[in-house]
Amino acid sequence: MIYEIRTYGDPVLRNKNEDVKKIDDNIREILDNMVETMREISGIGLAAPQAGINLRLFVVEAEEGVVKKVINPEFIEYSKEIIDYEEGCLSVPGIHKKVKRPESLKVKYLNEKGEKVEEELDNLWARAFQHENDHLEGILFVDKIAPVAKRLVSKKLLNMKKETLKKIGK
């Protein structure tokens, strides 16, 4: 099943996301649907709130054919090296801006079998994990762009928010 992507201005993107308490077929189905949705729209990552689900889940495919399904992530260490790199987001269509983030990190999470995974990630994997994890904190990449860049897109964001609120009937 393909989810409808929630867009900028939708309160579901700012809600609190709950830890997954039990990894069952329902959760595995959500993760499969998220992967299907991400691939349908050629994304490299998708977090549950973007599908209207306020749970601590995301999926990332930073290399073609390699999918990571991430449950209750916890970042335990960041590199000191910071990289400024252009990002976009399926929930903020049409906007691409640079965001500063640590180059690499260590993360702990549960996979879809409920197994504990601990990994060191760098490059696009580290970038995508941080972007998706921000979604679980109700943070969007446009919250983190430089003030000058933010001013350049502020009108676009305002219009996007209006369109979103109209679409969801608020």
Closest contact distance (angstroms) between CB of 24 and Ni ion is 26
Whole-angstrom distance, CA of residue 55 vs CA of residue 31: 11
Told to check if 142 binds Ni ion by CB under 5 A, we report no
Amino acid of residue 118: E
Active site residue 120: no
**Taking CB under 5 A as the rule, which mask of x and - marks residues 31-60 in contact with Ni ion?**
------------------------------
CA atoms within 13 A on the CB side of 137: 14
48 versus 89: smaller Cβ distance to Ni ion: 89
89 versus 136: smaller Cβ distance to Ni ion: 89
Told to check if 89 binds Ni ion by CB under 5 A, we report yes
Closest contact distance (angstroms) between CB of 45 and Ni ion is 7
Part in contact with Ni ion (CB under 5 A); list of ranges 1-9, 10-18, 87-95, 109-117: 87-95
7 versus 104: smaller Cβ distance to Ni ion: 7
Closest contact distance (angstroms) between CB of 3 and Ni ion is 14
Q: Are strands 105-110 and 116-121 parallel, antiparallel or unpaired?
A: antiparallel
> Could you please report the per-residue DSSP string of 10-68?
-GGGTS--BPP----HHHHHHHHHHHHHHHHTT-SEEEGGGGT--BSEEEEEEETTEEE
Told to check if 13 binds Ni ion by CB under 5 A, we report no
For residue 144, CA distances in Å to 21, 70, 78, 81 come to 30, 23, 17, 17
What is the Cα gyration radius of the chain? 16
Q: Which residues bind Ni ion (CB under 5 A)?
A: 89
Would you please indicate which residues are annotated as catalytic (active-site) residues? 132
